[in-house]
Structure 1
Amino acid sequence: MHRRASEEFVRQVAAVRPDQWDAPTPCADWDVRDLVNHVVGEERWTVPLLAGQTIEDVGDSLDGDLLGDDPASAAAHAARAAQNSVTEPVLTGKTVQLSYGEEQAAEYVCQLAADHLIHGWDLAVAIGAQARLDPQVVDGIAAWFKDREELYRGGGAIGDRVEGSTSAEGALLGAFGRDPGWTPGHAAVAALGAAFGRGDVDGIMAQLTSDCVFESTSPPPDGGRFVGAEAVREQWESLFGGTDEPLFETEEWFVLGDRGVVRWRFSWRDADGQRGHVRGVDVLRLRDGKVAEKLSYVKG
């Protein structure tokens, strides 16, 4: 399982285009380069740990960037070295010293195989490639993970389970907190909501296309229509700059293909010192991992 999953990960790394290294991934805190560096780091750790070294022995020698100017080669070399280090410790029942203590080498290698499998999917969908999850590896990891899922979740290693998939692949991704339908548009919608919550106009505009369209909720009946980043930015600067204690809160959102929907609550401090609010919905159109159209509707 470890060999198959790591070989697929290396294949996906080789497919990353030069302009995709800073693209978002299903791991919200990592772009493509961060994700690949994480997995290469795991592979680089595998060799000394399975050889009997401790975390203290390795120290900070594997901290920082491990990809250099040729990430594909770095990933391939690290994967090959890790694969070559696995067999003997597993077959002879050796143990390995991990952050939480002593562990069986076989258990450690299952953890590595699972991480390669899931992060291989993360990488594929982030760069728009076809995700190829080996069915035998999916079945093997699913059986292994069944009794460990809540341990992982309780430790904060994975997000909430995503239900609804009927395929073995989708069910395993859901168990690891992944939405099998994730696209770069998911990252854009999540980042847009976070930027609105901060009142961060620069952050908002970073998630919009240069030719974006925004339709506001007023004046009735159709609202105002603003086309292009400059015109849209002016609207948000006016709103946040001219409102006392503005606060956007995202209540719910989802993405399906190139469309998204966000339910939100906007509140402010009125002239009497009280907080007023409205609730509304944005209907979004997505393109190339950004929001190209934001049509706003409000209860009223």
Structure 2
Amino acid sequence: MSRDHALEAFRRESQALTDAVSGLSAAEWNLPTRCTPWSVRELLGHVCVVIDWVPGMLAGPTPGEAGISAADYYRPDERFSSRTNRARIALARDRAAGPADGLGPAEDFTATWRRVDRLCRAQPAGRTVFSRHGDAMLLSEFLITRVVEVAVHGLDLADALGHEPWLTESAGDAVLHLLLGAEHKAAADALGWSRPRLLRKATGREPLDASEAARIERLGIRWLALG
């Protein structure tokens, strides 16, 4: 997927999330999510944190070659260990406690993703970056992982709030392409699930029965390690 397509998916899904969380009540911000121990506010703080890695990556050294794809990025190594997860939880809670500029959680998220969108649009095609885990990646490939974060945690937030999922078509396509490859639309149609349900299944948010697990295996769906 090109940088422009990845950015379009990121932009549309981020705007949909902004629209969904703008105007939440204090009680709604404090609702629990399936991403224990985070509340709605803290989970959105996590999404801010993982998007906000991008400016530092763009300002840092540039690898000569990209060796890691978006799919490879989700390999289950130290980045998803208990120690890393504890740090991830703490960073999200710190962010949710309030950014330095005093913005509320919805405003912080909006300012963060718009800054990343603006910076990435200014980059040349084929730009490479190092992820915070040391992966040498095309910026377009890393952006797909940020689409995953916004889209999948958007489902978590929708479920916590009791809202219908707002998954956008462009983000759904980007994530399904990651999971299913070039034939993602035909494979998704073969499963017969809505895109939100497929993402819940593929990330372990909904259990699979034996027949569903067999169909998933036949299609060669990549399971994402999301910590």
What TM-score bracket applies, with the shorter chain setting the length?
0.5 to 0.7
Q: Deviations over 1:235-262 (max 9, x none)?
A: xxxxxxxxxxxxxxxxxxxxxxxxxxxx
CA–CA distance in 1 between the matches of 2:23 and 2:180?
Answer: 32
- The alignment status of 1:19 with 2:27, answered yes or no, reads yes
- The alignment status of 1:142 with 2:169, answered yes or no, reads no
> CA shift at 1:15, angstroms?
4.0
Aligned residue for 2:41?
33
Instruction: Assess if the C-alpha contact under 8 Å between 1:43 and 1:79 holds in 2.
Output: yes
* Residues 167 and 107 of structure 1, relative CA distance in 2, 3 Å threshold: same
CA–CA distance in 2 between the matches of 1:165 and 1:38?
Answer: 31
Q: Aligned with 1:29: secondary structure?
A: coil
- The alignment status of 1:94 with 2:127, answered yes or no, reads yes
CA–CA distance in 1 between the matches of 2:138 and 2:169?
Answer: 25
Runs of 4+ in 1 over 6 A off after TM superposition: none
Amino acid at match of 1:97: F
Amino acid at match of 2:156: D
| TM-score normalised to structure 1 length | 0.47
Q: Which runs of 5+ in 2 are unaligned?
A: 1-8, 63-86, 182-190, 208-227
> CA shift at 1:71, angstroms?
1.3
Q: Deviations over 1:124-181 (max 9, x none)?
A: 121122321112321221012336xxxxxxxxxxxxxxxx87223311221122239x
**Which of 165, 174, 178 in structure 1 is aligned with 2:205?**
178
| TM-score normalised to structure 2 length | 0.61
CA–CA distance in 2 between the matches of 1:166 and 1:101?
Answer: 33
Q: Which one scores higher on RCO, CA 8 angstroms, separation ≥ 6? A: 2
Query: Greater CA radius of gyration, 1 or 2?
Result: 1
Instruction: Assess if the C-alpha contact under 8 Å between 2:52 and 2:112 holds in 1.
Output: yes
The structure richer in helix per residue is 2
Instruction: Assess if the C-alpha contact under 8 Å between 1:25 and 1:123 holds in 2.
Output: yes
CA–CA distance in 1 between the matches of 2:23 and 2:166?
Answer: 13
Aligned residue for 1:288?
none
Aligned residue for 2:94?
65
Aligned residue for 1:112?
146
Mapping of residues 1-300 of structure 1, within 5 Å? 1-52=9-60, 63=91, 65-67=94-96, 68=98, 70-89=104-123, 91-98=124-131, 99-146=133-180, 166-179=193-206
Instruction: Assess if the C-alpha contact under 8 Å between 1:93 and 1:105 holds in 2.
Output: yes
Give the total of aligned pairs: 157
Amino acid at match of 2:163: A
* Residues 94 and 171 of structure 1, relative CA distance in 2, 3 Å threshold: same
| Aligned-residue identity in percent | 27
CA–CA distance in 2 between the matches of 1:51 and 1:6?
Answer: 22
Q: Aligned with 1:103: secondary structure?
A: strand
CA–CA distance in 1 between the matches of 2:174 and 2:60?
Answer: 26
Instruction: Assess if the C-alpha contact under 8 Å between 1:12 and 1:120 holds in 2.
Output: no
CA–CA distance in 2 between the matches of 1:143 and 1:177?
Answer: 18
Aligned residue for 1:257?
none
